Structure formats: structure tokens, C-alpha cells
Structure 1
Amino acid sequence: MFRMDSNNTHSIADYLAQLLKDRKQLAAFPSVFVHVERLLDEEIGKVRSNLFQINGGAKEPMNLPEPSGDTVSLSEKVYVPVKEHPDFNFVGRILGPRGMTAKQLEQETCCKIMVRGKGSMRDKTKEDQNRGKPNWEHLNDELHVLITVEDTENRAKVKLQRATDEIRKLLVPSVGNDGEDELKKRQLMELAIINGTYRDSSSRGLVMPQ
């Protein structure tokens, strides 16, 4: 396996592009290299997590206690600060291209993450038409992220807290020295990788193990 420099976004993206290319080639031999497929999928997951580190901070693994008690359903609403930042595209930042950012957080936290409330739908005309109808009550509320989880209570609380913390980080507008949203740049980078249009920037940070 390659080793990457986690401080270099382009190196991480280059590495992810290579991994996805390997995964595509490996798909030509289904159920032949089972352990290699598993290891490759695990590595892809780790690299994607590095690529989407919020605010440049590494994420500590989620330590879950042993299940205790009955399964419960917990939920939390995190309101989006649209009044403080009316021109910022929070919905796009939370969801990411093709919903990839939200899906990544769902995988990491084992929670369901949904954007709800005013301004949560792309089609504003349809949103206005649905407002006030049964099952669309959330459109009367301010824009928010609804986080839900099912597990034993002791585990559900840990998962819900992690998801809430990660969403709150996404709700803090962050720009780099060039005035651009760093996370958005990474989101578009991964979209280009998946579409096969990303070009390797360099081979720096990609070295073979000794």
C-alpha cells in the first residue's frame, strides 16, 4: 500500500484517485481477491475521511460502549445560522456533491442526517406548494439539520453527540487564504475523482513502504 502525507490535500486526492482506479480494475475479478477487496475498501474509507477532515482536525475514533438496555430512537435538531450568514450556501456544504459529505458523516456516526425546514428544497416553487401539507410540516420551521439514530440508549447518545458536533463544524463558514471555502474545494475535488476528470497534481506524499 502507498503511504500518504495527510497534510497535503492534493497528495490525498492523488492517492484516492489511484485507489479508486485499483478498485475498478479489481472489480473485473469478483470474489477472487476477497481479502484484497476488503483491505482496499477500508483504505478508501480512511483516505476519504482524511480528505474531509473538518477544519483540518483529525477525528478521534468513536468509542462505543457495550449495548445496554432496549433499543431507543433519539433525534436532535441543529439550526442553520442563515440569518447571520444569509449568502452562504450551507445546504450545499452539508450535503456535498451528490450528497457525498452527508453520506460520509452518516457512515462515520451511524446516524441519519437530513436537511429540513425553509430553504431545504432545491425547487423553491415545489417547496412553497408543499408547505402546510401533511408530512411537510418541517417546512414551517427554520432551516435545520435533523439527526436521528436508533440503538441502545448508551450507544445512541454517543453517536448522536458525534454527529451533532460534526454538523456544528460544518455550520461555521470556513475560507482559506484565497478566500474560498476549503471544504467545498475538497468536495469538488472528490467529485472530479469519481467522474474520472481529476488530474494528478503531483506524486509528492505518495511513497512506497520500505
Structure 2
Amino acid sequence: LASQKASEYVKELLSEKVALDQSKYPNAARLIDQEVAKVQAMGRSLNREYKYVDIYREKPIKVTVKVLVPVREHPKFNFVGKLLGPKGNSMKRLQEETMCKMAVLGKGSMKNKQKEDELRSSLDPKYAHLSDDLHVEISAVGPPAEAHARVAYALAEVRKYLIPDNNDNIRQEQMREMEIMASTEPHPPTPRVMPAKTKILSILDRARVAMEESYGLVEENEP
């Protein structure tokens, strides 16, 4: 009964958000989003120990971030196509390489715009994200240091796909992949398997290198 009331309340909130002029009342829209997230969180069995990070026992945690896609600055660029790649292969490789789960969510995330409008208007909490700005949700589960390192690595890698350039290395590689797929069915790449004992060190190193490359961080040499 409680879950049913919570679901009805979320639908009411989403209905108000759809009817709201979000460009005119952005603060009201943000408050509705916070209330929806709060109600949905109450419906899940939250672990109280998540309030703290247990690095002594390396108790696994889940780290989730939402990365805004700059569609307002570049409305004509196909960010979704670049992020997904041919048959979704680019995002699949990103997930395998960074060991994170990723999903493109929000307005404009679905190819069928009519279907997206229908699902958004349905007020189903499952599709509440369709009222949000276009974004990439990145999540990782693991020991605290590794989980945060995976997400840090993923952020640096995803940033490369948010550059509105149709002729960069990523797009050129995707075009070559599309040509190969059009001519013949390629064999799927064999995923690289790393020993468990070196995984944490490796992901930390890769996160550091990726951030240095993406953000131009240079470590100063001591005299």
C-alpha cells in the first residue's frame, strides 16, 4: 500500500513537472526532481552503512554520476550517435574499458521521438529521466578506491565523446567501422582480461593517465 501511494505521488510530481515551464521556473523543476529522487530512494532498501566508506574492509560501494551532454551549446550536433557508435559498439567498448555501466538518458536519448513523447507523457516513474536534460549516467560497483577510479577514468574517456567534432579520431574510427560492417560482418573483439590482483592498480593508473591527457594535468618535477 505504501509503495502504491509513493508511485501515485511520483506520478503527480512528474505531471506537475511536465506542465511546468521549466525555462521560466528552473528552481521549481529542480525541487520536483529532488522530491522524486527522495521518494524513489525511500522505496529502495537503503544500506545505512553507505553513509560511510569502509576502506578498512574494502566494502564495495556504488558510485553514480550524471554527465550533462552540451546540447544547449551545440544543438545541431549528434552527441547520442557519437556516444553510442555503430550498433552501440562505442559505448560497449567504453564500458568494457572503464569497467563502468553507462546509459544515455534524458530528452533526446531515444531514436523514436514520438515514442519518447508518449513515454514521457505516461508519467511512469521508470521513464522519469525523459523529463531531464540529456545526460550520460555512469556507475561502478567495487571497493571504494577502485569504484571511484573507474568513474574517474570513465569521465575522462566520455569527455572525448562530448567534443562536437565530426572529423576527430573517434568519428573517423566510427566511419571506418561502419564501412567494414557494411562490407562484411567482423568478428567481435576479444575483451582483455586482467589478473584480479593487478586490477585496482591498473585502473588507478589508467584513470590518472586519462585525466592527464584529457585535462592537461602535468605533474611538476621536484628540483
Q: TM-score, normalised by structure 1?
A: 0.57
Paired-residue identity, %: 42
- Measured in 2, the distance between the counterparts of 1:122 and 1:139 equals 12
Query: What amino acid maps onto 2:179 in structure 1?
Result: A
More helix per residue: 1 or 2?
A: 2
Render the CA deviation track for 1:33-75: whole Å, top value 9, x for unaligned.
xxxxxxxxxxxxxxxxxxxxxxxxxxxxxxxxx9951111111
- Does residue 190 of structure 1 match 2:181? no
- Does residue 139 of structure 1 match 2:130? yes
- Measured in 1, the distance between the counterparts of 2:56 and 2:98 equals 16
- Measured in 1, the distance between the counterparts of 2:71 and 2:97 equals 26
1:108 Cα deviation (Å)?
A: 0.5
Question: Which of 123, 130, 147 is matched with 2:119 structurally?
Answer: 130
1:87 paired residue number? 76
Instruction: Compare relative contact order (CA 8 Å, sep 6+) and give the higher one, 1 or 2.
Output: 1
Unaligned runs of 5+ in 1: 1-65, 199-210
- After superposing on structure 2, the runs of 4+ consecutive aligned residues of structure 1 that deviate more than 6 Å are none
Query: What amino acid maps onto 1:171 in structure 2?
Result: L
Q: What SS does the aligned partner of 1:135 have? A: helix
Query: What amino acid maps onto 1:106 in structure 2?
Result: Q
After superposition, residues 100-139 of structure 1 pair within 5 angstroms as 100-131=89-120, 132-139=123-130
Unaligned runs of 5+ in 2: 1-54, 186-223
Q: What SS does the aligned partner of 1:77 have? A: strand
Alignment RMSD: 2.1
Question: Does the 8 Å contact 1:67/1:152 carry over to 2?
Answer: no
- Does residue 170 of structure 1 match 2:161? yes
Q: Select between 80-89 and 188-197 the one with higher mean Cα deviation.
A: 188-197
After superposition, residues 56-75 of structure 1 pair within 5 angstroms as 69-75=58-64
Render the CA deviation track for 1:99-155: whole Å, top value 9, x for unaligned.
011011111000011000000000101101111222011111000000011111110
- Measured in 2, the distance between the counterparts of 1:67 and 1:166 equals 29
Q: 1:69 to 1:121 in 2, by over 3 A?
A: same
Question: Does the 8 Å contact 1:150/1:156 carry over to 2?
Answer: yes
- Measured in 1, the distance between the counterparts of 2:181 and 2:144 equals 37
1:186 Cα deviation (Å)?
A: 1.3
Q: What SS does the aligned partner of 1:70 have? A: coil
2:36 paired residue number? none
Query: What amino acid maps onto 1:122 in structure 2?
Result: K
Q: TM-score, normalised by structure 2?
A: 0.54
Q: Give the number of the structure whose alpha-carbon radius of gyration is greater.
A: 2
Query: What amino acid maps onto 1:149 in structure 2?
Result: A
- Measured in 2, the distance between the counterparts of 1:168 and 1:67 equals 32
Alignment coverage as a number of residue pairs: 129
Q: What SS does the aligned partner of 2:126 have? A: coil
